[in-house]
């Protein structure tokens, strides 16, 4: 039996997801501003906090940015003392990116600020509704990744879940 979904409802759902994501970015950006960090910098710090010593190329792929864009971002972050780049001991062409002590401290401050914002964002939603929403969004993500992988001949479908 085929269950038909109302396309108008589906379109509204897509717009709602977009609006929620856009508004969340605005609120998180406001939380980051007093720390002197942009969202792009936060993403770099978040990825490095999970996999310190990534190559610039791997970081560019994970962030879905060009190598040039990541290079400029890292230049600014290195000048601010948050990251340092070192030559890869096994590949002279590659550069690895590491958090500095100041970068590690900044990650902690950012997490505290963003956690407070996230708690505020989610404050009106009961836990069971959040669980159901997460399951629904994961199912949509899996479907979309399958569609992307099928259309592109097997790109890796890297986790684009963000820095949280």
* Fold observed for domain 12-123: Arc Repressor Mutant, subunit A (1.10.10)
Which tens digits make up the pLDDT trace of 45-69? 999 999 999 999 999 999 999 999 9
pTM (2 d.p.): 0.72
The beta-carbon contacts of 83-91 under 8 Å, at least 24 apart in sequence, are 83/44, 83/45, 83/48, 85/56, 88/55
Hey, what's the torsion of the CAs at 74, 77, 83, 84, to 10 degrees? 60
Per-residue pLDDT, 154 = 43
Domain ranges of the chain: 12-123
């Amino acid at each position: 039996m085929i269950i038909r979904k109302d396309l108008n409802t589906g379109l509204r759902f897509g717009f709602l997801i977009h609006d929620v994501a856009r508004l969340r970015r605005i609120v998180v950006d406001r939380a980051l501003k007093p720390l002197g960090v942009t969202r792009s910098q936060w993403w770099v710090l978040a990825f490095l906090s999970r996999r310190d010593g990534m190559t610039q190329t791997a970081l560019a792929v994970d962030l879905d940015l060009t190598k040039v864009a990541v290079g400029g971002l890292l230049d600014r972050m290195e000048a601010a003392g948050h990251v340092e780049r070192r030559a890869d001991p096994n590949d002279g062409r590659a550069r690895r990116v590491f958090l500095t002590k100041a970068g590690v401290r900044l990650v902690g401050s950012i997490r505290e600020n963003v956690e407070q914002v996230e708690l505020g964002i989610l404050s009106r939603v009961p836990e069971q509704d959040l669980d159901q929403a997460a399951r629904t969004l994961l199912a949509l993500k899996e479907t979309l990744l399958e569609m992307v992988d099928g259309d592109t001949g097997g790109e890796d479908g890297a986790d684009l879940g963000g820095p949280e």
